[in-house]
Structure 1
Amino acid sequence: MDKRNTEQDFISAFWQLYEKKPIEKISINQLCQIAGYNRATFYNHFENIYALFDKAVYDILFPVKRNVFSSQNFYNLLQKDLMGSVLLTYFQQQDKYIELLFKRQNHYVLSDKIKKEFLLLISENVKPNTKVYEKIEILLEYQISAVLGVINYWYQKGKLISEQDILQKIYDISTKGVLTSLKTELQSIYEDSKA
């Protein structure tokens, strides 16, 4: 069996267990039993349970990495509407795992990986440790934290609107700005009350 299949078997077993219990309660023995391998095989592929967790999260981010972060020019990527459609597709495909990360309060791992990938992509065009790069870091921190905060709120509220609607709302706020979006919402309420 090749390395990729073995790692995928462990990742699959991890998600099965993670669905039922937090990472701290998952043992290597349980993982090995579900994956069908012994402990030595586990340690041939992963240093510990957290390294496996890291790889599992990386794998759910990989489709975005392939389709978005592989772009040669981040500026051109932002000029197109590609980002919204790729993220919507990704979110719908990975919803089960993303929801688990939020329910277990481990979404910071996903956030850190997304920030790292964006910064790697940007560093190809903007020199790190410059004023421009620092400003971009702040913008990314703000945006990614805000988006993940909204997604967390959406999960906590029991997904009151569809995935497509929440992602469209996030995209609209991201492109128009928070204050403009808030003004638009309040304006419609104000106009309805005058009618």
Structure 2
Amino acid sequence: MKTTLSTTAKVTRQNLIDSFWLLYCKKSIEKIAVKEICDVAGYNRSTFYVYFKDAYEILAEIEEQTITVEDFKNIVIKNLFYGNLSHDHRKEAILKLILEFFEKNKTYLPVLLGENGDPHFRQKVLKKLTPTVLSIYKKLSPQELMEVSYLMEYQSAAMLSMIAKWYANDKDLPTEQFLELLLAVTTNGVQSELSKYRG
């Protein structure tokens, strides 16, 4: 909303967001009715419509807040696309930055990337990241930039899926082991890493 809200209105609005999120963690947005959100929050539907048009507007706001966090861009650009760090230094940076970012956003991000999340959310993330990442490759030809965009799509999608699965599995691998695996796949490729497990 563009108007300035009173303290009470801000609390009411946040309660509606929190109530929506409790439901969204359990089921997809198509199955969430405004009445359910209001029942959880303890308000009537007329109160809901003062602040939001529908449940999709709440989800869009949460997604927008999550994918504009600068930390995420820094992690991807500095550590996964730049190749100028040594393996040990890059591993240390990823261990710190990825853990910090996902822990900071653990309320929303794992769910948004999970099975109940918006299937277009990852594309929204990539759309935010693409201009910044491509700016690294200013000297490339249009054809080369196109190829880089495909590589970025592949790598980013794989990384997000892998992290989302780890959170969905309640971090079944120790943090350091998981992040070492993530770094290995990012650096060496999937086939190279899978070959280690073949007899």
* TM-score, structure 1 as length reference: 0.68
Does the 8 Å contact 1:13/1:34 carry over to 2? yes
Greater RCO, CA 8 A, separation 6+ = 2
Once the two structures are TM-superposed, the CA of residue 68 in structure 1 deviates from its matched residue by 4.1
Unaligned runs of 5+ in 1: 191-195
Find out whether 1:166 has 2:169 as its counterpart. Answer: no
Change (3 A) 1:115 1:102: closer
Once the two structures are TM-superposed, the CA of residue 5 in structure 1 deviates from its matched residue by 5.4
Q: CA RMSD in A?
A: 3.6
The aligned residue for residue 121 of structure 1 is 132
CA offsets, 1:53-105, max 9 Å, x none?
A: 1222333334xx3224379xx57973454555322212233345344345534
Q: Which amino acid aligns with 1:52?
A: I
In the aligned structure 1, how far is the partner of 2:180 from the partner of 2:118? 20
Unaligned runs of 5+ in 2: 1-5
Of 108, 118, 121, 1:110 maps to 121
In the aligned structure 2, how far is the partner of 1:136 from the partner of 1:84? 25
Does the 8 Å contact 1:9/1:35 carry over to 2? yes
The aligned residue for residue 143 of structure 1 is 155
Tell me the SS of whatever aligns to 2:108. helix
Q: Which moved more, 1:93-102 or 1:110-119?
A: 93-102
Q: Percent of aligned positions with the same letter in both sequences?
A: 26
Once the two structures are TM-superposed, the CA of residue 174 in structure 1 deviates from its matched residue by 0.3
Once the two structures are TM-superposed, the CA of residue 163 in structure 1 deviates from its matched residue by 4.2
Once the two structures are TM-superposed, the CA of residue 170 in structure 1 deviates from its matched residue by 1.3
Does the 8 Å contact 2:38/2:44 carry over to 1? yes
Q: Which moved more, 1:148-157 or 1:111-120?
A: 148-157
Does the 8 Å contact 1:57/1:109 carry over to 2? no
In the aligned structure 2, how far is the partner of 1:58 from the partner of 1:88? 21
Tell me the SS of whatever aligns to 1:108. coil
Of 141, 145, 148, 1:133 maps to 145
Change (3 A) 1:131 1:168: same
Once the two structures are TM-superposed, the CA of residue 144 in structure 1 deviates from its matched residue by 2.2
The aligned residue for residue 193 of structure 1 is none
**Aligned pairs, number:** 182
* TM-score, structure 2 as length reference: 0.67
Q: Which amino acid aligns with 1:167?
A: L
The aligned residue for residue 179 of structure 1 is 191
Once the two structures are TM-superposed, the CA of residue 135 in structure 1 deviates from its matched residue by 1.6
Does the 8 Å contact 2:38/2:48 carry over to 1? yes
